[in-house]
Structure formats: structure tokens, C-alpha cells
Amino acid sequence: MASFRYSFQRVVDLKASEKTQAEWLLSSAIGALAAEERSLEQLQTEKTDWERKLHEASQAAIPLSELQVIQQYVEYLKNGIANKTKDVLHAQKAVEQSRTRLSDKMKDEKVWLKAKDHALARFQYAMQIKEQNELDELASVRFTLSTP
């Protein structure tokens, strides 16, 4: 009996490989987003701490130059937070693009797998027909030989 061999198996394998690669890219994008979000949180925490220090310093009798330095550092942190927020948005956009790409790759792979399943079903049907024809032939030969 002949075995099924799908003529487009390399395409199916390629689509599976592309899907795996898209999964890796999505995982990488999610990792980058998490890193950006952690960095943003650290900046926000540091800004809060320095604002508290600035408030405490303004209550105490310290030189104005030190207050200005602290204020400048708080402004620097605010700018850093604004930039990091943009980085987080870019990372979120990259994650969304990776998700879309993965979804497309999954659909593409599913189409090819379904085509392979249909080809297998057609092959099995053809084999059943062939086997049935052989059995019918065998039965007719036996019937012909058994009748005098």
C-alpha cells in the first residue's frame, strides 16, 4: 500500500518555522516592554523621593544653591520620565505589531495544514476506492472460477 506524501510539505514546514520565529519575536518584544516599564517605574520612584527631599530641604535652613541643584535634578528626572514614557509607548507598539505578525503567521500555517489534511483525506479516499476495486475484481474472478 502506498504511503501519503504531501507535495507541499516544505511549505508547511516553512510556515511552522515562520510562526515559531514570530513567537520568539513577540516574546522578545514583551521582554523589552517589561524592561522599559520597570525603568519608568524606577524613574518615577526616584523623582518622588527627590521631590520629598526638596520639600524637606525647603523646610530646613539650607543654602539656596542646594535647593536649586535638587530642583534641577527633579526637572532632569521629569524629562527622563517623559522620554521613558515615549519609549514605553514605542515598546507597546512593537508588542502589538509582533502580536499581529504572529496572528498572521498562525493563520497562514493553519491554511497550509488544512490543505494538507484535505490532501490526506483525498489520498485516503482514493486508496479506499482502489482497494474496493481490487476486492471487487477479486470477488468477480472467484465467482467466475466457481461457476461451471
Model pLDDT for residues 80-116, shown as the tens digit of each residue? 999 999 999 999 999 999 999 999 999 999 999 999 9
CA distance 21 to 52: 47
Structural domain harbouring 22: 9-108
pLDDT, position 61: 80
CA distance 13 to 20: 11
Give one word for 64, left, alpha or beta, with left for phi > 0 and alpha for psi -120 to 50.
alpha
pTM: 0.77
Instruction: Say if 3 falls within a structural domain.
Output: no
Instruction: Say if 67 falls within a structural domain.
Output: yes
Number of domains into which the chain is organized: 1
The CATH code of the domain that includes 56 is 1.10.287.1700
Nearest CA to 58 among 71, 72, 77? Answer: 71
